[in-house]
Amino acid sequence: MKITNVEAITLVVPMERPIKAPISIPHADELAGVVFKEYRTTLVRITTDEDLVGVGESMVRLAPTATRDIVEYLKPILIGKDPFDIERIWDLLYGAMMNRGHYKGFFIEAVSGIDVALWDIMGKALNMPVYKLLGGKTKEKIWTYASSLRFRGLDVLKADAQRYLDMGYNAMKIKIGQNPMDYRKDIEVVSQLRKVVGDDVVLMVDANCAYGEDVKTALEVGKAMEDLGIFWFEEPLSPDNVEGYAYLRKQMNIRLAAGEAEFTRFGFRPFFVRGALDIVQPNLCRTGGFTEAKKIAAMASAFHVAYAPHTGSSSAIAMAAAMHLAVALPNFLIYEHMESDWSKDQKNPLRWDLTELPIKSFKDSYIELDDKPGLGIELNEEIVNKYRVG
Ligand SMILES: [Mg+2]
């Protein structure tokens, strides 16, 4: 089998009204209008001479057409290759720019979308779900948490938490760090939330790097969260502050989680070597695709670190891909299922309408995957055509 075409498709859904930052970002007042002005994704569609079509997603946070252009530039490397030569293809793609400093960011996000599309093709060619190719199921169902309770005031927060409980979730995550200096307010909000959901529900907090280099504040928040029985403390510090994470982990009993901003096994290596994390959270559509995520998971396992896939502000394609990885990985902990969009008033059609997810059942916070070949998804072409740009 040979690859005959590679197509990158950028989808953009403008926000009808400007929104405030729904999660912590630095300089939120000035940046929210750029970062959160639209829902966006870049998809990769690869065709073979056997008329098989694979679909992948590249995570894009900004400039989604930049990622699209990178995929287009990589196309000549892919044409004529056998999709099953996945390790060689990955090395070729990585080799194109690695020694020019592009071993993170947009370039690896582009590679990720290609890699996921190739795994989708392999699954379809063998008439098997991708998780089978990844080593098969290590469990029948994947434990799942609702993500995320955002910065929307206490009343909305309580209502959303109740809604997740009513849906059957026994685990959920809340965003903190809107005003890093006013962290006592976060502690109060989380303690109010604890009262709403009760002691048996697994609660995580996600600061999205709010405390930056301020390890002392992060430590104080972490200890308060420990007292509130919070399951994990996610991304308190800047993503590359390995020493800061290692220090925090020694000082706190709460589990420390991070990794959604990191790329490839080489990026994750220092976090493992320094003992900086309890839980690692790569996004496979950012970090290098299935091919690389498997290696990061194996490294995590060697360091006794649990794997909790990030999905975040992706489309449904990345969510589907993460489910396949989750069910296959032996050191998988819990899967992030997106139940809330950036805007409270405008749903993200790329999350909700772009495809059906490969879910056979959801009960008591556990997802059972169906067993359709590949990623088990089909693109809604109406949505693709409606939001396609360029
Ligand atoms: Mg996060």
Residues forming CATH 3.30.390.10 domain(s) in the chain: 3-127+381-387
Could you report the per-residue pLDDT of 5-19, keeping only the tens digit for each?
999 999 999 999 999
pLDDT at 283 over 90: yes
Q: If you measure from the C-alpha of residue 178 to the centroid of ligand 1, how many angstroms do you get, rounded to a whole number? A: 14
pLDDT at 329 over 90: yes
Query: What is 3-127+381-387's CATH number?
Result: 3.30.390.10
In the chain the first and final C-alpha atoms are separated, in Å, by: 30
Question: What's the pLDDT at 84?
Answer: 98
pLDDT at 246 over 90: yes
Return the beta strands (E) in the chain as ranges: 3-14, 38-48, 53-58, 142-149, 171-175, 202-206, 232-234, 255-258, 279-280, 306-307, 335-338, 359-363, 366-369
CA atoms in the 13 A half-sphere facing the CB of 279: 21
- 56 - beta bridge partners? 44
* 3-state SS class at 259: coil
Question: What's the pLDDT at 127?
Answer: 98
Q: If you measure from the C-alpha of residue 238 to the centroid of ligand 1, how many angstroms do you get, rounded to a whole number? A: 12
Taking all residues of the chain, what is their mean pLDDT, rounded to a whole number? 97
DSSP letters, 96-137, are HHGGGT-SSHHHHHHHHHHHHHHHHHHHHHHT-BHHHHTT--
Q: Residue 14: is it exposed, middle or buried by C-beta count within 10 angstroms (0-12/13-18/19+)?
A: exposed
* Mean pLDDT on 360-380: 98
Q: Considering the domain 132-369, what is its CATH architecture?
A: Alpha-Beta Barrel (3.20)
Question: What's the pLDDT at 378?
Answer: 97
Q: If you measure from the C-alpha of residue 209 to the centroid of ligand 1, how many angstroms do you get, rounded to a whole number? A: 9
Q: Compute the distance between CA of residue 177 and CA of residue 210 in angstroms, rounded to an integer.
A: 5
Q: If you measure from the C-alpha of residue 82 to the centroid of ligand 1, how many angstroms do you get, rounded to a whole number? A: 35
* Mean pLDDT on 281-292: 98
Closest CA to 324 of 285, 362, 374: 374
Question: What's the pLDDT at 213?
Answer: 95
* Mean pLDDT on 151-168: 95
Q: If you measure from the C-alpha of residue 248 to the centroid of ligand 1, how many angstroms do you get, rounded to a whole number? A: 17
* 3-state SS class at 9: strand
Q: If you measure from the C-alpha of residue 260 to the centroid of ligand 1, how many angstroms do you get, rounded to a whole number? A: 6
Question: What's the pLDDT at 310?
Answer: 98
Q: If you measure from the C-alpha of residue 145 to the centroid of ligand 1, how many angstroms do you get, rounded to a whole number? A: 13
Q: If you measure from the C-alpha of residue 266 to the centroid of ligand 1, how many angstroms do you get, rounded to a whole number? A: 21
Q: If you measure from the C-alpha of residue 196 to the centroid of ligand 1, how many angstroms do you get, rounded to a whole number? A: 22
Question: Which DSSP state fits 181?
Answer: G
* Mean pLDDT on 164-181: 97
Q: If you measure from the C-alpha of residue 76 to the centroid of ligand 1, how many angstroms do you get, rounded to a whole number? A: 35
Could you report the per-residue pLDDT of 336-357, keeping only the tens digit for each?
999 999 999 999 999 999 999 9
Q: If you measure from the C-alpha of residue 205 to the centroid of ligand 1, how many angstroms do you get, rounded to a whole number? A: 9
* Mean pLDDT on 114-130: 98
CA atoms in the 13 A half-sphere facing the CB of 273: 7
For 174, left (φ over 0), alpha (ψ -120 to 50), or beta? beta
Could you report the per-residue pLDDT of 58-89, keeping only the tens digit for each?
999 899 999 999 999 999 999 999 999 999 99
* 3-state SS class at 294: helix
* Mean pLDDT on 33-47: 97
Q: If you measure from the C-alpha of residue 50 to the centroid of ligand 1, how many angstroms do you get, rounded to a whole number? A: 39
pLDDT at 390 over 90: no
Asked if residues 18 and 37 have their Cβ atoms less than 8 Å apart, the reply is yes
Q: If you measure from the C-alpha of residue 337 to the centroid of ligand 1, how many angstroms do you get, rounded to a whole number? A: 12
pLDDT at 123 over 90: yes
Q: If you measure from the C-alpha of residue 46 to the centroid of ligand 1, how many angstroms do you get, rounded to a whole number? A: 30
Asked if residues 319 and 284 have their Cβ atoms less than 8 Å apart, the reply is no
Q: If you measure from the C-alpha of residue 322 to the centroid of ligand 1, how many angstroms do you get, rounded to a whole number? A: 15
Asked if residues 271 and 245 have their Cβ atoms less than 8 Å apart, the reply is yes
Q: If you measure from the C-alpha of residue 208 to the centroid of ligand 1, how many angstroms do you get, rounded to a whole number? A: 6
Q: If you measure from the C-alpha of residue 23 to the centroid of ligand 1, how many angstroms do you get, rounded to a whole number? A: 9
Residues forming CATH 3.20.20.120 domain(s) in the chain: 132-369
Question: What's the pLDDT at 76?
Answer: 98
Asked if residues 108 and 116 have their Cβ atoms less than 8 Å apart, the reply is no
Could you report the per-residue pLDDT of 178-232, keeping only the tens digit for each?
999 999 999 999 999 999 999 999 999 999 999 999 999 999 999 999 999 999 9
* 3-state SS class at 51: coil
- Please confirm whether the linkage preceding 148 is cis (ω < 30° from 0): yes
Token pair 């999205």 in the structure block, residue: 208
Q: If you measure from the C-alpha of residue 55 to the centroid of ligand 1, how many angstroms do you get, rounded to a whole number? A: 25
pLDDT at 365 over 90: yes
Q: Where are the alpha helices (DSSP H) in 238-380?
A: 242-251, 264-273, 284-287, 289-302, 316-328, 349-352
Q: If you measure from the C-alpha of residue 358 to the centroid of ligand 1, how many angstroms do you get, rounded to a whole number? A: 23
